[in-house]
Amino acid sequence: MRGSMHLRRIDPNRNMARFYTMSVQPTLFGEWALLREWGRIGSAGRLVQRRFASEQEAALAMTAHLKARLTHGYVQCGGPSNNIDAVAGGRGQQQIRAIRRNYIDA
């Protein structure tokens, strides 16, 4: 597994306790998969897989989903695997910014 993100959104006033997990993993057929799981904390949640031709495409999709989740009030939690640099294959912040500029912010 290349990297994963663990997000939570907790609001006791609204009885809200949600999780959102994403990970980029290789498939048995040479492709890459973005696995997303979400739901109420303590429940099994829903799991969706989307396949991509390259690891970079999967990392870009993961970054786009991360951006959307953070906009909706989710916060990152967990350990060092929550580093977007690790998720994108350790390419460095400059290359990640270039990817975001070319594919996500366009």
pLDDT digits (tens, 9 = 90+) for 3-41: 788 999 999 999 999 999 999 999 999 999 999 999 999
pLDDT at 62: 93
Q: Which residue has the higher pLDDT, 105 or 76?
A: 76
Return the CATH number of the domain spanning residue range 3-104. Answer: 2.20.140.10
Q: What is the C-alpha separation between 64 and 76, in angstroms, rounded?
A: 15
Tokens of 85: 């640099």
pTM of the entire predicted model: 0.70
- Taking only the tens place, the pLDDT of each residue in 53-77 is 999 999 999 999 999 999 999 998 8
CB 63 within 8 A of CB 84: yes
